[in-house]
Structure 1
């Protein structure tokens, strides 16, 4: 962004590195919470170059509706404890597929059957030939 006065951009490398550090800390919080909740088949995708929505996408499975809901609840509590109060949640009423948008990290929590049907790993993988595929 430049101004009419000819000043240079406001974002500096220092701001970019701080943002990357915050995203890495957020990802660590998410992964730790998912591990504590016994989430299964965890895959982390770096989507920074593919989408402006987020830097990372995390995809996990829960064993049942109840487990998916418990994973989501635990993750939301941990995000709030870490200082993120603006996470957006979708699908928590049915717990087939819960999406949690935590800003730089998007988390998908699936029941295995639903995860196999949508196969997000293949859609978002860096190279479609080497895409991890969920076989549940």
Structure 2
């Protein structure tokens, strides 16, 4: 099997599919192009428990490695409250719902007057 060379859009599509496959909830994608140098896209999702959050993150990083050869930087997987996955082009945050409500990360990235809706 040959590795595909990922674009930010193909990486985003793979991230969204992986989150959907693993039953992540309240998935929101934010376009960072022109807003930040850290990546092109941010994806925020919730898992129902620490165990599910960690499993979603683990499966996502494994799928990106298998499909694209992307070695993602991962922080927070051991605790399972908030896992950050940095793929380079796509930044993924997977939260337990209570932790997500506390940090309200989506609100930091929306434009004034704009609402961010779950997909």
TM-score, normalization: structure 2?
0.90
Aligned residue for 1:54? 39
Please state whether the residue corresponding to 2:7 is helix, strand or coil. Answer: helix
Aligned with 1:58: secondary structure?
A: strand
Aligned residues: 114
Question: 1:14 aligns to what?
Answer: none
Q: Which residue of 1 aligns with 2:67?
A: 82
TM-score by length of 1: 0.79
Q: Structure 2 stretches of 5 or more lacking a match?
A: none
Task: Provide the residue aligned with 1:110 in structure 2.
Answer: 95
Counterpart in 2 of 1:130? 114
Alignment partner, residue 58 of structure 2: 73
CA contact (8 A) 2:64 2:71 kept: no
How large is the RMSD of aligned CA atoms in angstroms?
Answer: 1.7
Pair member with larger Rg: 1
Provide the rounded CA distance (Å) in 2 between the counterparts of 1:89 and 1:51: 20
Gap runs ≥5 in structure 1: 1-18
Q: Looking at both structures, which has the greater relative contact order when contacts are Cα pairs under 8 Å and sequence separation is at least 6?
A: 2
Kindly indicate whether the alpha-carbon contact (under 8 Å) linking 1:84 and 1:102 is maintained by their aligned counterparts in 2.
no
Distance 2:14 2:88 in 1: 13
